[in-house]
Amino acid sequence: MSMTNPLLRHEGLPAFDAIRPEHVTPAIDELLAAANTALERAVSDAVPADYEALSAVLDTATERLGRAWGAVGHLKAVADSPELRAAYNENQPKVVEFHTRMGSDERLYAKYKAIRAAGAALSAPRRKALDNAIRDFVLSGAELQGAAKERFAQIQERTALLSQQYSEHVLDATDGFAYYATEAELAGVPADVKQAARAAAEAEGKDGHKITLHFPSYFPVMQYGEHRPLRETLYRAYVTRASELGAAALDNTPLMAELLQLRQEEAQLLGHANFAELSLVPKMAETPQQVMGFLRDLAHKARPSAERDLAEVREFATKELGLPDLQAWDTAFASERLKESRYAFSDQEVKQYFTEPKVLEGLFRIVETLFEVSIRPDTAPVWHDSVRFYRIERAGELVGQFYLDPYARSGKRPGAWMDDVRGRWARPEGALQTPVAHLVCNFAPPVGDKPALLTHDDVITLFHEFGHGLHHMLTQVNEIAVSGISGVEWDAVELPSQFMENFCWEWDVVKRLTAHVDTGEALPRALFDKMIAAKNFQSGLQMLRQIEFSLFDMRIHAEPDAATRVQQVLDDVRAEVAVLQPPPFNRFQHAFSHIFAGGYSAGYYSYKWAEVLSADAWSAFEEAGVLNPETGRRYRREILEAGGSRPAMDSFKAFRGREPSIDALLRHQGMA
């Protein structure tokens, strides 16, 4: 099958259009066999304790395995099917077992330590990669013996399976709900949203308008729908997804408890008091107490703003909307109405100017101007006909490439993310491998012959994910373990993504991102000024919400008995920091995929931590001019090109000339 299996192609880009579920097992078996052979060769006397020699044997085999398995995982996230899910779940334990075994192989660990002890003259990126590898051996159980080592491996396999099941439950619960609304029930909902809902119902041969829990369908109804019972129905369905209040087969309650128990056990096996401590070993933050202190300090600073925000929306709802008992399913609606009345514009009005082609053209132009590259369409096999592919060049030379998958659809995981297809690497045989990224969003698709329209929040999301992509693609580091986003501390990885969001609030930028869907006119300055006036609308509430999620995440991973009282911890956190209490049936934690099925366990605080860094980095552009090429060049070289080849704080200080300050973040959010 080797000759015909698309997952076994060594050269070029993944054949996403040709990969089928039946290809997965034969390819993974063959690649695992090759990786095992490489591992045994690497630890034998045939390969000296030399960085280059070890990389040539081991990295080549593991990178091929990683690329093929990455393609399977990616397809599962964007084009899930029962057959693909079965193939993925059959092979995941084998892949986890190999990586767990390799990560804790005492012979390999000894060889890496011998390379460091020999004191050979290594480049700075190689030295960083070597230090990271030795640290990761310890974190992967290389120093464990006997039963402890065996138990550690069992935990890795079980947690991978549980995280996968958690993610599947959220997707299935999201996909499994539909409400067919009448025209009357959709009073106030924007015409394009109704049109898309009607088309979705017609495609199934049904009457009415199909409303789902996918965000582009769900949220506009919560924001604009005047029919309160429909808002309540949708809200209840959304916040009880994958919980004991829905289908029993999709309940994530036991999965969360077991995941937390296993993470606690893993931490103790490795000599840490709790998983939060273990999680911080490779991060910038030093202790769970430091993180929680940082979050509580931010909460204290944000609370007066949040209390004002809540009082204003409650007063408005009572006086103007006849809603004296403001409920959770009313807040988005009342907030949108308050914003419209105060600033005399709506998200719906703004959306007419952000056509997807114009936004992309403007985004590309900013990146080209600041980072001295050119972006143009390219061709590659794709998994869906709405996916596009682009290349980034500098002075005619290929720098990187990326796939853009913009629209929500059934079988596609909710949310937005960047993932790597492959990293930049000076391969042992001499060729330079350029980086390739996936940029995935869940925007509302175009309806009829008009282009897709993006909300301003959608535009911010696109810029955010593109920032991650630039971090991955513009790297100039040739060592795969620390090129691009690889090896970057998890609590610094959001710096380049959050940095890019700032462009969405600059007039010189925004006017170039806009062209009205009907007239082609740019966004009027007066409307932009209203958006700026509203920029920090409810910023206090939003900040407390993020702090609530971050503190909950840190506490359930820092308190040894939290597995048995997840809801209690969340209730306690809300009592401490939230000013807006959700109803008792809210089961937010059951769909908190970031920490139960993503990489953010005991790390969700990274968004706030990195916001301090990104706001301070942005202030350098505010001082010099936001499209200043010299500042852009310095940012590119010190932050983006350096990747994970040195500590993130060193990169920040090299760009900014000093340590970060929280002042810029508070100023940007109107809380200074």
Active site residues: 465
Residue-wise DSSP of 30-51: HHHHHHHHHHHHHHSTTS-S-H
Q: Nearest to residue 436, comparing CAs of 81, 91, 128, 74?
A: 74
Q: Nearest to residue 66, comparing CAs of 481, 377, 418?
A: 481
For 393, how many CA atoms within 13 A lie in the half-sphere containing its CB? 11
Query: What are the structure tokens assigned to 664, written together?
Result: 């810029």
Query: What are the structure tokens assigned to 7, written together?
Result: 């997952």
Residue with tokens 């992967």: 140
3-state secondary structure of 314: helix
For 91, how many CA atoms within 13 A lie in the half-sphere containing its CB? 26
Q: Residue 389 belongs to what H/E stretch?
A: strand 388-394
Query: What are the structure tokens assigned to 566, written together?
Result: 């997840």
- Residues with Cβ < 8 Å from 66, sequence gap 6 or more? none
- For residues 79 and 308, give the distance between their C-alpha atoms in angstroms, rounded to a whole number: 44
* DSSP state for residue 515 in the 8-state scheme: -
Contact 422, 436 (CB under 8 A): yes
Per-residue burial over 517-541, b = 16 or more CB atoms within 10 Å of its CB, e = otherwise: beeeebbeeebbebbeebebbbbbb
Q: Nearest to residue 643, comparing CAs of 509, 541, 543, 493?
A: 493
- For residues 28 and 20, give the distance between their C-alpha atoms in angstroms, rounded to a whole number: 13
- For residues 357 and 520, give the distance between their C-alpha atoms in angstroms, rounded to a whole number: 12
- Residues with Cβ < 8 Å from 361, sequence gap 6 or more? none
- For residues 582 and 578, give the distance between their C-alpha atoms in angstroms, rounded to a whole number: 9
- For residues 486 and 423, give the distance between their C-alpha atoms in angstroms, rounded to a whole number: 8
Q: What is the largest CA-CA distance in the chain?
A: 81
Q: Rounded to a whole number, what is the distance in angstroms from the first to the last CA of the chain?
A: 63
Query: What are the structure tokens assigned to 421, written together?
Result: 């297809």
